[in-house]
Amino acid sequence: MVNEDELTDMIVNMDLEKVQGPKDIWEKKIDLDDGRSLVVGYEEESKVCQGLTKDLTSGMDEEKCAITYSWYWEVRDSETWGIIYENHDTDLSFCSEDLQRAWSDESTFEDIGDVPGTELCTWSDQNGIDDIVEDIIDDIRDVVKIQ
């Protein structure tokens, strides 16, 4: 059996690691009792970019992108890595903004100091790991023995 408080702490505080490959996927793997592992991660769902004006100092084009990520979790057999249970619903997500500029040898720190005032990630329904940890535990409760 897994203690609920300990599992909550591990889900929230363990570091995420980038999954190798071309997709933007990050995961944390938590070893549970009974030969099972819990995988909690997020993956890129969509990317929307907005062109901005040329940077006045460098004259280079720049754009600001909003990247939407979706959380998922899986319970796996620790030995075979077979999936016992998974939840890849995309209803728990968050957004991150990224400023992308064309760089040159003349780029300076001042060029990247000012971010134009457009906001692409404006919705208030951002789901951080602290916000969804109870959802994860409630969802896996029937598969993993939690006390």
Q: Which residues pair with 64 in a beta bridge?
A: 50, 99
Helix 4-13 vs helix 129-140: angle between axes, to the nearest 10 degrees? 140
Q: Percent of the chain having pLDDT more than 70?
A: 73
Residue with tokens 């457009």: 118
For 100-142, how does the pLDDT look when each residue is reduced to its tens digit (9 = 90+)? Answer: 544 344 434 343 444 444 455 655 566 889 989 999 999 999 8
Give 20's pLDDT tier (boundaries 50, 70, 90). very high
pTM: 0.75
For 80-104, how does the pLDDT look when each residue is reduced to its tens digit (9 = 90+)? Answer: 999 999 999 878 888 887 755 443 4
CA distances (Å), 91 to each of 41, 77, 81, 103, in order?
14, 25, 25, 36
